[in-house]
């Protein structure tokens, strides 16, 4: 049996698999099998009101899951599917409330990773797949990351190499006027150009007001976001206090910490390597991770969103 055959057999048997996609690895189950869908929530430790994304082989199947599909939705689908984009649309009445977190909308995407495509085509149905990490933890961008998260609790992780995008899909809500819910590699401007209209983005979840801080995409080690001008001094001061410090930087501060992960000054390249760098830092037995604040430019929106969630404000 090839890994693809095995993956399809497990999905049909109501089991979970680790599924490579171009964004991050997913924890996949048959979307039409409620007990398989429940397994995702229990294995991830995910709250029941947190909806999951349905993955389809192609956009022709959109009508099976969503209704009131606007011209805008079809335009976006034609432009970006298969690819790293998720659309939120009104759900068909039969879509299991466990998938939608009890909401009347459903999130759908058509991934372009060749392995995800082969599995979806051979399976013939739809799979729900949140990122394959324990709830609140860093998303996996390599098969090994998924094994590190779930070990023997997950019967199969299909090898698909390093994820090409490395950050979760761009999510666009098309119920009402278009709204960006989660920035990703497909940028706000690209969407606005395509739709020829403004798309709102409130970044509600990125706000740091008390109670709203969304501890997502987080390493276990405390992580602080620090300005370029301060990171070296801060790191040296923490080391003087006897702390083991790791840095995630856009430049090199080689002598300033126990471990230095240097990422690219190109946001796409940075995003591709962010999660694996965070995982390496998290595994280095550090007291603190300092992340150099990337530029605020629109091209950095997705990276900044993930970094803001992964960090806390320095005290
Ligand atoms: O790139 C991705 O989207 C990856 C890969 C595996 O496809 N999946 C992923 O899933 O990131 P997850 O479960 O980690 O994140 C799904 C996000 C959540 O923030 C959830 O709130 C949102 O999608 N979502 C799902 N259904 C929704 C809905 N009906 N309305 C609004 N947001 C929804
Ligand atoms: Mg996730």
Domain segments of the chain as ranges: 3-195, 223-310
* Size (the chain), residues: 315
Instruction: Look at residue 302 and tell me whether its pLDDT is greater than 70.
Output: yes
Is the per-residue pLDDT at 215 higher than 70?
A: no
Q: What is the 3-state secondary structure (H, E, C) of the chain?
A: CCHHHHHHHHHHCCCCEEECCCCCCEEEEECCCHHHHHHHHHHHCCCCCCCCEEECCCHHHHHHHECCCCHHHHHHHHHHCCCCEEEEEEECCCCCHHHHCCCCEEEEECCCCHHHHHHHHHHCCCEECCECCCCCECCCCCHHHHHHHHHHHCCCECCCCCCCCCCCCEEEECCCCCEEEECCCCCHHHHHHHHCCCCECCCHHHCCCCCCCCCCCECCCCEEEECHHHHHHHHHHHHHCCCCEEEEECCCCHHHCCEEEECCCCHHHHHHHHHHHHHHHHCCCCCEEEEECCCCCHHHHHHHHHHHHHCECCC
Residue 251 confidence class, pLDDT cut points 50, 70, 90: confident
Name the residue with the closest Cα to ligand 1, atom 6. 26
pLDDT of residue 3: 97
**What pLDDT shows up at residue 204?**
56
Which whole number is the average pLDDT over 278-290? 96
Compute the distance from residue 98 Cα to the ligand 1 centre, in Å.
13
CATH topology of domain 3-195: DHBP synthase (3.90.870)
Ligand 1 nearest atom to the CA of residue 139, by list position = 14
Q: Tell me the average pLDDT across 202-222.
A: 60
Summarize the confidence of residues 13-27 as an average pLDDT: 98
Split at pLDDT 50, 70, 90, the class of 216 is low
Is the model's pLDDT at 94 over the cut of 90? yes
Could you tell me the maximum CA-CA distance found in the chain, to the nearest angstrom?
A: 61
Average pLDDT, rounded, for the chain:
93
Give CA–CA dist 135/137, Å, rounded: 6
pLDDT given for residue 219 in this prediction: 83
Architecture of domain 223-310: 3-Layer(aba) Sandwich (3.40)
For 133-165, how does the pLDDT look when each residue is reduced to its tens digit (9 = 90+)? 999 899 999 999 999 999 999 999 999 999 999
Q: Give the ligand 1 atom nearest the CA of 19.
A: 6
At 210 the pLDDT is 36
Instruction: Give the distance (Å) from ligand 1 centre to CA of residue 122.
Output: 23
Averaged pLDDT, 260-289: 97
CA of 310 to the centre of ligand 2 (A): 12
Phi, psi for 199 (deg, rounded to 5): -120, 125
Atom number, ligand 1, closest to the C-alpha of residue 107: 26
Question: Which of 24, 82, 107 has most ligand 1 atoms within 8 Å of CB, for mutation?
Answer: 107
Q: Is the pLDDT of residue 213 over 70?
A: no
Among 16-30, 57-71, 194-208, 221-235, name the one with the lowest average pLDDT. 194-208
Tell me: pLDDT of 217 over 80.
Answer: no
């Amino acid at each position: 049996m090839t890994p693809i055959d095995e993956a399809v057999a497990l999905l049909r048997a109501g089991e979970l698999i680790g599924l490579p996609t171009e964004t991050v690895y997913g924890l996949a189950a048959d979307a039409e099998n409620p007990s398989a869908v429940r397994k995702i929530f229990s294995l991830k430790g995910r709250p029941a009101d947190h909806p999951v994304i349905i993955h389809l082989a192609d956009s022709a199947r959109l009508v099976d899951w969503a209704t009131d599909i606007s011209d805008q939705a079809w335009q976006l689908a034609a432009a970006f599917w298969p690819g790293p984009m998720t659309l939120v649309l009104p759900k068909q009445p039969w879509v299991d409330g466990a998938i939608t977190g009890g909401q009347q909308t459903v999130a759908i995407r058509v991934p372009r990773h060749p392995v995800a495509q082969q599995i979806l085509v051979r399976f013939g149905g739809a799979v729900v797949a949140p990122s394959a990490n324990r709830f609140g933890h860093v998303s996996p961008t390599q098969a090994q990351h998924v094994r590190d998260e779930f070990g023997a609790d997950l019967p199969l992780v299909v090898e698909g190499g390093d994820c090409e995008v490395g950050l979760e899909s761009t999510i666009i809500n098309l119920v009402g006027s278009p709204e960006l819910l989660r920035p990703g590699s497909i940028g706000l401007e690209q969407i606005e150009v395509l739709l020829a209209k403004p798309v709102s983005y409130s970044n509600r979840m990125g706000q740091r007001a008390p109670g709203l801080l969304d501890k997502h995409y987080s390493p276990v080690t405390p992580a602080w976001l620090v300005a370029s001008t301060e990171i070296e001094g801060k790191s040296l001061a923490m080391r003087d206090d006897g702390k083991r410090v790791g840095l995630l930087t856009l430049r090199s501060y080689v002598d300033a910490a126990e471990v230095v992960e240097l990422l690219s000054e190109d946001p796409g390249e940075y995003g591709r390597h962010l999660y694996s760098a965070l995982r390496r830092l998290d595994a280095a037995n550090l007291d603190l991770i300092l992340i150099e604040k990337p530029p605020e430019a629109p091209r950095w929106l997705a990276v900044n969103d993930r970094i803001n969630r992964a960090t806390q404000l320095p005290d």
